[in-house]
Amino acid sequence: MSSDNILVRATNVNASYATNTGQDVPAVDAVSLEIAEGQILGLAGESGCGKSTLGNALAMIANPPLYVLSGELQIADRTIDLSTLDKGAEARHRAFRGDYVSLLPQGAMNSISPTLRIRDLVVDVVRGQDRSRSRDEALDLARDRLKQLGMPVRVLDQYAHQLSGGMRQRMVTVISTLLNPRLLIADEPTSALDVSSQKALIEMLLQMVEQKVMGAAIFITHDLPVLSMVTDQIAIMYAGRIIETGPTAELVHRARHPYTSALVSAVLDPTEETRHKRVAGIPGSPPNLASPPSGCRFHPRCAFATEICTREVPPLVVEGEHSSACWWAKDHPNEPVPLPDPVSLEGLAS
């Protein structure tokens, strides 16, 4: 990624959940990432790895018990302090939501009011952001955008229950980007959809980036096949940290981190290969973030772990656009992680 057209750069984001035992659970740990203009970054990882928390922190909607301890977000010409610890945070962040960053939260399609038409939601969202716009202006904006994307304008006059799940999800996506945010953060937008609706939404997102509806996007999901269709770059998160980033094809074909490699090999594509092999999942379960493992957080589940992995945090091995935080990668420069051998189920710990 050339550094001159970077649109979004997040630096050292730390976010914790406060618990009633008094111990904070760090869900996002010193994460930095950057996205170039016109690109889509995929953020992947298992449930509980902190990917949605990172999305919320970047979208500046962190509410207690989630606290953003530190972090800086540069978008275009502005730099925003993401921290929510001080009193002025809400007022400071409010100015950036909508125009600079827009979040499409998980399950957004189910949050359309059943008693209002879609057009009422459009007016609410646009006027909530910008009081000076009239109702007609907001609706004109929505009509133009729908035409631009080749979607039926009559949807605006309908109620949520009259739309299919796929259409509802596409509508909330369109509405959340009406104000042309510089960055759209979409959290699991395709997860509740069937494959055909997924495809339609992905095509629409690609079209939106191409038509510069938004400057760049972060696409959060655990679904690697979907990510491979939509993203330019992928960042893999594990236990609150980004452990590998790289161009999508690189990451899928030449994973440099054993966790990425395990995720990729657990994908069941409907191919002859899948049909006739036994795929091994990742043994064990994701760590408890309140007391993460020492050293490399993946070491208890890693087939390549050595003694040093249990003791020391792995270094970031950077090779061009591809970087991986792994001791194995450091010892094996430019070498993709060999695919794990099929493991029998008896070997799996509970």
Tell me whether residue 202 or residue 209 sits nearer to another protein (CB atom): 202
Tell me whether residue 72 or residue 223 sits nearer to another protein (CB atom): 223
- Identify any residues that bridge with 334 across adjacent strands, giving them in sequence order: none
Tell me whether residue 73 or residue 216 sits nearer to another protein (CB atom): 216
DSSP state of 97: B
Torsion of the alpha carbons at 15, 246, 243 and 259, rounded to the nearest 10: 130
CB of 302 to another protein, least distance (A): 13
Tell me whether residue 110 or residue 285 sits nearer to another protein (CB atom): 285
Residue appearing with tokens 């994307």: 149
Residue appearing with tokens 């995720």: 263
DSSP state of 341: P
CB of 79 to another protein, least distance (A): 33
CB of 45 to another protein, least distance (A): 9
Tell me whether residue 231 or residue 324 sits nearer to another protein (CB atom): 231
Cα dist from 227 to 188, 264, 278, whole Å:
10, 12, 24
Tell me whether residue 91 or residue 349 sits nearer to another protein (CB atom): 349
CB of 213 to another protein, least distance (A): 20
80 contact partners, CB below 8 Å, separation of at least 6: 60, 72, 73, 74, 92, 93, 96, 100
What is the DSSP track for 273-321? HHHTS-----SS-PPPTTSPPSSSTTGGG-TT--HHHHHSPPPEEEETT
Tell me whether residue 55 or residue 71 sits nearer to another protein (CB atom): 55
The whole-angstrom separation of Cα 47 and Cα 126 is: 32
CB of 134 to another protein, least distance (A): 38
Cα distance from N-terminal residue to C-terminal residue, the chain: 41
The whole-angstrom separation of Cα 12 and Cα 121 is: 35
Percent helix, percent strand, percent coil in the chain, to nearest 5: 35, 25, 40
Tell me whether residue 134 or residue 207 sits nearer to another protein (CB atom): 207
Tell me whether residue 60 or residue 108 sits nearer to another protein (CB atom): 108
5 contact partners, CB below 8 Å, separation of at least 6: 36, 37
CB of 39 to another protein, least distance (A): 13
The whole-angstrom separation of Cα 322 and Cα 248 is: 10
The whole-angstrom separation of Cα 45 and Cα 224 is: 9
CB of 338 to another protein, least distance (A): 17
CB of 236 to another protein, least distance (A): 12
Residue appearing with tokens 């939601």: 121
Contact residues for another protein (CB under 8 A)? 46-47, 165, 193-196, 198-199, 202, 222-226, 228-229, 248-249, 252-253, 262-264, 266-272, 274-275, 278-282, 285-286, 345-346, 348-350
CB of 24 to another protein, least distance (A): 19
